[in-house]
Structure 1
Amino acid sequence: MMIKYLVISIWGILLYSCSSNDNIDGPTTDSIKLSTNEIKINKNESVETITTGGNWWWFSSIKTDNSEIQYDENDVVINGDWYTVTKVTNTSFKINVEENTTNMKREFTLTLRAGNYFDSLILIQE
């Protein structure tokens, strides 16, 4: 009888410790604080500067219609077919976009990371 209570107690502890409410990595708060999450530009060549409220972040990935490329903390320049993204300071980056001569909308999603927090910026060029 005592073993039955012991087994039930152990199962209860195990189930409680595996709860999906646990936040193993710690709390996730916006430590990047992007100045905007979307930029729409016309077909002309453009340079956009984006600021952040946080100073500890890095480029995590960039996704276009054709691909998604992952980056790490050391990558400060991203070169694409029609864009370049450059980390200028710890609180800003710039996006250079070439003129769109395709007559088709182009876009990418740039994801930034700070610890276990992710934030994204969508750029759309007509």
Structure 2
Amino acid sequence: MKKNFSLLIIGILCITFLSCSKNEDGKWDDNIKLSTKLVEFNSNENLTTITTGTNSWWLDGIAFNGTQVDLQQINQTSQNFIVENPDFTVERLNGNIIKIKMKENLTNAERIMNIALQNGNYFDGIKVIQKGN
């Protein structure tokens, strides 16, 4: 009886330790691999190109000066898309190239754009800061 009980306890402990993962739920490693996460522009018209290490991500959202941009007309999972706005353009090419163009900032206020990306349960983003005139 003692032998069976000891084997049962050892079995439960083995199952418990083997089933536990070191990673917490929802914490994935970087699987987008952005070449840069912060872009700083002067007030002139500017263009930058950012690359990703994979093409399986999708566009989760864009906020410009704190306001969400309407993306209903965009296929956010497509390998190629263009988001056009009077102040900026965000373009995805071949799945892993992101081109960001900011029009000239004629105001004195700094402009901030946040581009949110997702791949599985991993979230990342690009912050674009354009100086005021």
TM-score, normalised with respect to structure 1: 0.73
Deviation at 1:121, TM superposition (A): 0.6
Give the equivalent residue in structure 1 for 2:65: 65
Partner Cα distance (2:84, 2:40) in 1: 19
Is 1:45 paired with 2:49? no
Is 1:55 paired with 2:60? no
Instruction: Specify whether residues 106 and 124 from structure 1 end up closer, same or farther in structure 2 by C-alpha distance, changes over 3 A only.
Output: same
Deviation at 1:115, TM superposition (A): 1.4
Partner Cα distance (1:110, 1:29) in 2: 19
Partner Cα distance (2:24, 2:38) in 1: 32
Deviation at 1:64, TM superposition (A): 2.1
Q: Which runs of 5+ in 1 are unaligned?
A: 1-20
Is 1:85 paired with 2:60? no
Q: Which runs of 5+ in 2 are unaligned?
A: 1-22
Partner Cα distance (2:103, 2:96) in 1: 24
Q: Given that residues 59 and 76 in structure 1 are in contact (C-alpha distance below 8 angstroms), is that contact kept between their aligned partners in structure 2?
A: no
TM-score, normalised with respect to structure 2: 0.69
1:50-99 CA-to-partner distances (Å, cap 9, x unmatched) read: 01112211111011224124753248221223001000122111011101
Deviation at 1:37, TM superposition (A): 0.8
Q: 1:1-126 counterparts in 2 under 5 A? A: 23=25, 28-69=28-69, 71=71, 72-74=76-78, 76-126=81-131
Q: How many residues align?
A: 104
Partner Cα distance (1:34, 1:124) in 2: 17
SS at match of 1:112: strand
SS at match of 1:104: coil
- Larger of the two Rg values belongs to structure: 2
Deviation at 1:43, TM superposition (A): 0.6
Partner Cα distance (1:99, 1:113) in 2: 29
Partner Cα distance (2:88, 2:126) in 1: 14
Runs of 4+ that moved beyond 3 A: 69-72
Partner Cα distance (1:68, 1:29) in 2: 27
